[in-house]
Amino acid sequence: MKILCDRAVLATAVQLAQQAVATRAAVPALSCIKLTAKDGRLTLQAADKDIAVEVPVAAVEVKEAGEALVPAKKLAEVVGECEGATVGFEVVKHTLTIKAERMKFSILGFDPKEFPSPKDPVTKTEFTVPAETLRRLIVRSVFAAATENTRFAMGGVYMERKAKRLRLVATDGRRLVVTRGDCSSATDGDTVAIVPTKAMNLLNRLASQPDDAVQVAKLEGRLAFTVGEGPEAAKLVTNLIEGTFPPFEDVIPKEHDRKVTCDVQQLLASVRRAGILTTEQSKGVKMGFNATELKISGSSPDVGEAEISMPLTGFQGQPIEIIFNPGYVTEALRLVDSSEITLEMKAPNKPGVFRVGQEFTYVVMPTGQA
């Protein structure tokens, strides 16, 4: 193999492929990135036991077709240190030589045949969704998935497609998010799956071009995503999480006594400021609502206390005080691409519901009695 490619484009592709590499691989090939140059194109492949990804590299001149299998970490480090506009690759007996401006590296690799072969090819697309829509849904959901939980299904994102409506759901047991968007249906049946968060995060990075279409196909126990079209498309195949996702619709309160619509940026700033003087031991801010004002206070016996107030208009219901984890509130508000958000409440010991129309529903449990 002998190629010349744009350094910046290559560096981005290597970083993407590296996200799929196994961190502790019993098989050396799973700690590597496979490079394939043929038909005037370069493709990077990486995989662990659950995910396989294929990343095309644009702006490549293939002087000699071939393959290489090299450790992902070292490849990423070397490419990241290269200078100049272009980088040259050459492979001789499983050793990859990288040449850039005033520098040369040789990385010992493995036989490309050791890289696991792709499983069953994708045969039928279930639905297609614009990359911009899919990214918005992923960003709005994956943050709420469990990172440490014995219920394995909660460690992923529930994906449900009915006709031309797509819904992503995530929860860690203390908060729950449901986000919706439109898609183009290709089959009559519904699509239901629990996708690992690692796959969702990588898919979010692959779908970086808003105008791309993302095709989704379901295989036996797996989902396959194709981002873009033709030979320049990126591909990701992931195993699905087995088990039953929690009955999340039962968690969303159906009734509320208090309701108010707030400016997102103003609410975000107020909660963030009140949370400055909280600690891990006193991780809660008290939010006191009345007809004209919201008072948010945070305190810790060892640190101090803060009280922030912001005006309210249109508050419905009797005054209420409720305590939330400030991190849970601010994390969601940062992701909302809307100027306003509606908060619904029932009682100090009942969940609060943050909504943006019908597209975003965020349920947060209070941290204590106000």
Cα angle: 271, vertex 276, 277; to 5 degrees = 115
Q: Is 106 helix (H, G, I), strand (E, B) or coil?
A: strand
Please give the helix or strand (H or E) that residue 259 lies within, else none: strand 258-263
Q: Which residues contact 313 (CB under 8 A, 6 or more apart)?
A: 292
User: Per-residue pLDDT tens for 250-279?
Assistant: 999 999 999 999 999 999 999 999 999 998
User: Per-residue pLDDT tens for 296-342?
Assistant: 999 888 889 999 999 999 999 999 999 999 999 999 999 998 999 99
With bands split at pLDDT 50, 70 and 90, how would you rate the model's confidence at 122? low
Q: Which residues pair with 56 in a beta bridge?
A: 43
With bands split at pLDDT 50, 70 and 90, how would you rate the model's confidence at 117? confident
User: Per-residue pLDDT tens for 131-180?
Assistant: 999 999 999 999 999 887 556 888 899 999 999 999 999 999 999 999 99
Per-residue model confidence (pLDDT) at position 147? 84
With bands split at pLDDT 50, 70 and 90, how would you rate the model's confidence at 370? low
Query: Distance between CA atoms of 95 and 106, rounded to whole angstroms?
Result: 7
Cα of first residue to Cα of last residue in the chain, in angstroms, is: 67
Q: What average pLDDT is seen over the chain?
A: 93
Query: Which ranges of the chain would DSSP assign to H, the alpha helix?
Result: 7-18, 72-81, 131-142, 197-206, 264-274, 326-335
Give the chain's domains with CATH numbers.
Answer: 2-114 (3.10.150.10), 127-247 (3.10.150.10), 252-364 (3.10.150.10)
With bands split at pLDDT 50, 70 and 90, how would you rate the model's confidence at 186? confident
Q: What is the mean pLDDT of residues 234-263?
A: 94
Q: Which residues contact 140 (CB under 8 A, 6 or more apart)?
A: 168, 177, 179, 335, 336, 360
User: Per-residue pLDDT tens for 88-103?
Assistant: 999 999 999 999 999 9
With bands split at pLDDT 50, 70 and 90, how would you rate the model's confidence at 369? low
Higher local confidence (pLDDT), 119 or 262 = 262
